[in-house]
Structure 1
Amino acid sequence: MGSSQRSTLSTNVPGFVDGSSARGEFSYIDCLPVYAKELIAGGTAGAFAKTVVAPLERTKILLQTRTEGFHSLGVYQTLKKLLKHEGVKGFYKGNGASVLRIVPYAALHFMTYEQYRCWILNNYSALGTGPVIDLVAGSAAGGTAVLLTYPLDLARTKLAYQVTDMRGSFRTGMSSFPSQPAYQGIKDVFKIVYKQGGVRALYRGIGPTLVGILPYAGLKFYIYEKLKTHVPEEHQKSIIMRLSCGALAGLFGQTFTYPLDVVRRQMQVESLQPSIQRSDARYKSTMEGLTTIIHKQGWRQLFAGLSINYMKIVPSVAIGFTAYDVMKSWLRVPPREKVSTVSTT
């Protein structure tokens, strides 16, 4: 889908006599190819949604990875402890890497989803145009985005896993928290991890990530589009409708794939864990990780942090889908029917 897919919408805006001001303001947007608009819309939506839920994301990672001093705490107590020892900045530790990852990830995810969807419709019309197409396209898009951005997710997890005594307020019995973090930033993570294990180390945990993202991404798009088909046409553009459909899509999609996310997190931080814990975390495969966690940590660990993930995923996916739809409208991305029609010419 290239330059032939450019938007053909008028640049004239009511209120301007000759339309010159409108043309000056919007001509650049209108000349962008559709895939570029989808990249911009997806990246913006991802960054906005991720930043909103950053404190909950940090808390979830601490619970998933059984970080010392936090694994037995609840959501509220974890947030309270982070605020006490690391301040407000502690809520956003690792968020720089998270946003740096989510912008290209979300941009690629949404854009490739639209591209895969059009490709399937144009080449396999027998499959129809229902939500099943969204399931297939969403899964393929999720896998593509993960493969291209995974090292950034690894960096985000390692940075968020670190807990340091920023305020010098830890008492006796809490001395296990270092005063200096193992990694100083994203670049430092890449440098140290690459030195320890090369490119392969940068993709540690990619197995369970792909196994989890393929059904999750597919289900997320499938449920979102399926729910929208049951909404009356006059309410299709309602922000509340989009938020509700997005929230349910994230809720159901995440429930089925959450244990795989726990395995991925533990594989990502194993080099940072104490030697006793590290011996339990050497998972050679996704299935081995699942069975080992059940045997040595208990099946409940597969759902550690799930409650906070519900708190995070509902607003995150809801905001993500809604922001994406709003951005597409603002960028005047042609309706799907138009995109499909143009791409076949």
Structure 2
Amino acid sequence: MGSSQGSALSTNVAEFVEKPSARGEVLFVDCLPTYVKELIAGGAAGAFAKTAIAPLERVKILMQTRTEGFHSQGVFQSLKRLLKHEGILGLYKGNGASVLRIVPYAALHFMTYEQYRCWIINNYPSLGTGPSIDLLAGSAAGGTAVLCTYPLDLARTKLAYQVMDTKASFRNGIHSYHAQPVYNGIKDVFRSVYMEGGILALYRGVGPTLIGILPYAGLKFYVYEELKRHVPEEHQKSIIMRLSCGALAGLFGQTFTYPLDVVRRQMQIQSLQPSNQGGDPRYRGTFQGLTTIIRNQGWRQLFAGLSINYLKIVPSVAIGFTAYDVMKSWLRVPPRQKSKSVSAA
């Protein structure tokens, strides 16, 4: 009964799309190459998901970088503190850079994932089409997207971190941050960082980022697609199902790679800490960063902000995957089962 109703609904939707009034839009969408549709779907999904969790992302960065007044407070108190001193806009500081980064990042991530997946299936048929393909394609796609958009992530972190530059009233007597210039936007960050150390400075922290994103991106796609395979056919297009699978995929992948994210954040803001807040040496690599944090800050610092990351990763990954699937349907991207033949064509 349910399946027949679902089939009838799909037929009605298809008939509606094919109506003459929408024919121009349909023809335009159909004329787009598949990879362009995947870029559009991925970019839109990333922007929507990132904006939805921007306040939690801001607080997480403040906790990861041990910003004065935030590293010992919980999520709710940190949000209240930001609202009190910076207002609603303070919750979204750095979100412009974040969205500017996430649109090309998510677009490249999803599109290259699909392309890498087709390439692996077509060139290495002995590997089959199982979850191992999603793991390999997801990892390669994550690395590609990071290398192309990392400077924007660096700018986002620096803008989100400079809370003490704009508000001196969090705690009396705190002035160590005021000696540092306040960035006035993304272009100002790029100019300052480039003058400080050239192109390489724009990629400070990219080592732990790549080491973390390769397993995280692979695991995220692996878990999401594997969970979807076990969902009954009649529930395959359920929004709740996609949200649930996406949330579990994000939680699983993030738990295993979170310490690398902490190292990356601390490497990104080292130039803003001339005294290194306690005399910690500057990190020259991922492994040194991990060992130094454990020795000087304690192993718990490697998981600072993990609780808030769980709070944000559930809606972020869930919304991202769901929006991507919905956008692919709206843009009439061929079903996954046809990916091999489409690529070959």
Give the structure-2-normalised TM-score. 0.92
The DSSP-based 3-state class of the residue aligned with 1:283 is coil
Query: Contact conserved, 1:139 with 1:213, CA < 8 A, in 2?
Result: yes
Give the corresponding residue for 1:5.
Answer: none
Q: Shift in Å at residue 48 of structure 1?
A: 0.2
Alignment of 1:1-345 (within 5 A): 14=15, 19-164=19-164, 169-170=169-170, 172-176=172-176, 178=178, 182-277=182-277, 279-345=279-345
The DSSP-based 3-state class of the residue aligned with 2:284 is coil
Which range moves more in the overlay, 245-254 or 20-29?
A: 20-29
Within 1, Cα distance between the matches of 2:74 and 2:268?
22
Q: Which structure 1 residue ranges, 5 or more long, are not aligned? A: 1-11
Change (3 A) 1:177 1:78: farther
Change (3 A) 1:230 1:41: same
Q: Shift in Å at residue 343 of structure 1?
A: 1.7
The DSSP-based 3-state class of the residue aligned with 1:284 is coil
Q: Shift in Å at residue 23 of structure 1?
A: 1.7
Residues 135-175 of structure 1 deviation map (CA, whole Å, 9 limit, x = unaligned): 00000000000000000000000000011475775563345
Within 2, Cα distance between the matches of 1:81 and 1:259?
26
Query: Contact conserved, 1:58 with 1:92, CA < 8 A, in 2?
Result: yes
Query: Contact conserved, 2:267 with 2:283, CA < 8 A, in 1?
Result: yes
Within 2, Cα distance between the matches of 1:78 and 1:99?
22
Query: Contact conserved, 1:208 with 1:260, CA < 8 A, in 2?
Result: yes
- The amino acid of 2:121's aligned partner reads L
Q: Shift in Å at residue 13 of structure 1?
A: 5.9
Q: Shift in Å at residue 342 of structure 1?
A: 2.2
Change (3 A) 1:143 1:344: same
Q: Shift in Å at residue 176 of structure 1?
A: 4.8
Q: Which structure 2 residue ranges, 5 or more long, are not aligned? A: 1-12
Query: Contact conserved, 1:137 with 1:218, CA < 8 A, in 2?
Result: yes
Residues 248-296 of structure 1 deviation map (CA, whole Å, 9 limit, x = unaligned): 0000000000000000000000011141428415111100000000000
- The amino acid of 1:102's aligned partner reads I
Give the corresponding residue for 2:6.
Answer: none
Which range moves more in the overlay, 50-59 or 181-190?
A: 181-190
Q: Shift in Å at residue 26 of structure 1?
A: 1.8
Give the structure-1-normalised TM-score. 0.92
Within 1, Cα distance between the matches of 2:261 and 2:154?
12
Within 2, Cα distance between the matches of 1:171 and 1:133?
52
Within 1, Cα distance between the matches of 2:16 and 2:36?
28
Change (3 A) 1:196 1:221: same
Q: Shift in Å at residue 228 of structure 1?
A: 0.6
- Percentage identity across paired residues of the two chains: 78
Within 2, Cα distance between the matches of 1:89 and 1:180?
22
- The amino acid of 2:15's aligned partner reads P
- The amino acid of 1:263's aligned partner reads V
- The amino acid of 1:196's aligned partner reads E
- The amino acid of 2:258's aligned partner reads Y
Change (3 A) 1:256 1:148: same
Within 2, Cα distance between the matches of 1:264 and 1:23?
48
Within 2, Cα distance between the matches of 1:195 and 1:179?
18
Change (3 A) 1:244 1:290: same
Query: Contact conserved, 1:85 with 1:165, CA < 8 A, in 2?
Result: no
